[in-house]
Amino acid sequence: MPAFSRFLRYFVVVGRLGSIRRAAEELNVSASAIDRQILNAEAELGMPLFERLSTGLRLTAAGEVLMAAGGRWQKHLTDVLAQIEDLRGLKRGHVEIAVIDALAKGHIPTLIHAIQTRYPGITVGIRVQGNDVVRRLVADGEVDLGVMFEPHSYRDLTVRAFVDVVLGLVTPPGHPAGRSPEARFSTCSGLPVIVPSRPLAVSQQIEVLEATSGIALDRRATSDNIQMIVSLVLQGAGIGVLTSLDVATEVQRGLLSFTRLTDPVLRPMTLALCTATARTPSHAAGIVLGELEAEFARLGYPASHIAPVT
């Protein structure tokens, strides 16, 4: 790599770790080589990039400016290298994906495994985050694509495919509240409930149901983690209120039952596969997008739908 690129790589790691010794261990280079690169840069700039403290190194104002620029530069370099690989027609590259918590099991891991089997040259980084964080990561171009609920009203996102997901009661098999395929929210009255909390997208719909029905849930527990809610329902701590997507794996295995809520105030939640409007996907990202679009089509919506979010 060019000399500047090598310095910047050293600098960013030192800035992140606050230690030349720890950076040397991570980069597998000598501490003296890293120190020499930083000292040379400081001499050329005419100002220090780090404060030398007894506890380690801390970025100066100039160092913070360079740190921010370094992150952008490395991202741009990654994109350029991906485009060069595209010109060679190689099915390789790295793809960053952000998904909501509900997708950490089931369809997405299975699909990622299939993609890596089919395209061994493509590596994938998966970030599991809250809905709003996934939306921001996609819009800011920090990931190549994301899967999230309700992406509407964000002009910097393009919806590549989507599917509607419904809200319902999650119960152990044989539970009285789960005997019918459909029910009203009033079924929860008097029952212990494990309730999703913010930032989970379903929490907002539950708040609307409570407000319009006048029913106050018996909150035996609340959680902002889908898997925790599912685990508590499996343990018999109470029934849950989640989407069909959240428990698809458990329902398929016969571990839980799902009863759709049919209250008129409810509407299906839109699960969308999105990319940044201003960013053209790399060749590798395009391959992964195609596979995910096909999966959305199988779940119920045609993969050919591509429209900016308005």
DSSP 124-183: EEEEEE-HHHHHHHHHTTSSSEEEEE--TT-TTEEEEEEEEE-EEEEE-TT-GGGSSSEE
CA pair distance 15, 67, nearest whole angstrom: 7
- DSSP 8-state symbol, 94: E
Q: Do residues 40 and 187 share a domain?
A: no
Specify the residue for token string 């000292």.
39
| 70 vs 42, more confident | 42
Q: Give the confidence band of 9 by pLDDT, cuts at 50, 70, 90.
A: confident
Q: Do residues 231 and 198 share a domain?
A: yes
Q: Considering 84, 113, 135, which residue would you say is the last residue of a domain?
A: 84
Q: Do residues 185 and 46 share a domain?
A: no
Nearest CA to 104 out of 227, 242, 200 is that of 227
Residue 2 has pLDDT above 60, yes or no: no
- Name residue 275's beta-bridge partners: 158
pLDDT tens digits, 168-199: 999 999 999 999 999 999 999 999 999 999 88
Q: Specify the pLDDT at position 1.
A: 41
| 151 vs 79, more confident | 151
Q: Which amino acid is at 65?
A: V
Q: Which amino acid is at 123?
A: T
- Give the number of other Cβ atoms within 10 Å of residue 279's Cβ: 17
Q: Do residues 35 and 95 share a domain?
A: no
Residue 302 has pLDDT above 70, yes or no: no
Q: Do residues 263 and 173 share a domain?
A: yes
Strand order in the sheet with 167-171: 182-183, 257-261, 167-171, 239-243, 192-196, 218-223
Mean pLDDT, residues 152-162: 84
The answer to whether the Cα torsion of 152, 227, 187, 189 is positive or negative is negative
Q: Do residues 34 and 59 share a domain?
A: yes
Q: Do residues 156 and 295 share a domain?
A: yes
Q: Do residues 10 and 72 share a domain?
A: yes
pLDDT tens digits, 214-251: 999 999 999 999 999 999 999 999 999 999 888 988 99
Q: Do residues 247 and 290 share a domain?
A: no
Query: What are the structure tokens assigned to 27, written together?
Result: 């980069």
Q: Do residues 67 and 109 share a domain?
A: no
Q: Specify the pLDDT at position 301.
A: 42
Residue 63 has pLDDT above 60, yes or no: yes
How far are the Cα atoms of 31, 79, 129 from residue 102, in angstroms, in the given order?
43, 29, 10
Lowest mean pLDDT among 34-38, 44-48, 79-83, 279-283: 79-83
Q: Considering 51, 84, 117, which residue would you say is the last residue of a domain?
A: 84
- DSSP 8-state symbol, 45: H
The whole domain housing 138 covers 91-161+270-308
State the CATH number of the domain containing residue 253: 3.40.190.10
Nearest CA to 171 out of 232, 101, 107 is that of 232
The count of structural domains within the chain is: 3
CA pair distance 296, 310, nearest whole angstrom: 21
Q: Do residues 41 and 187 share a domain?
A: no
CA pair distance 94, 121, nearest whole angstrom: 9
CA pair distance 44, 46, nearest whole angstrom: 6
Q: Do residues 195 and 48 share a domain?
A: no
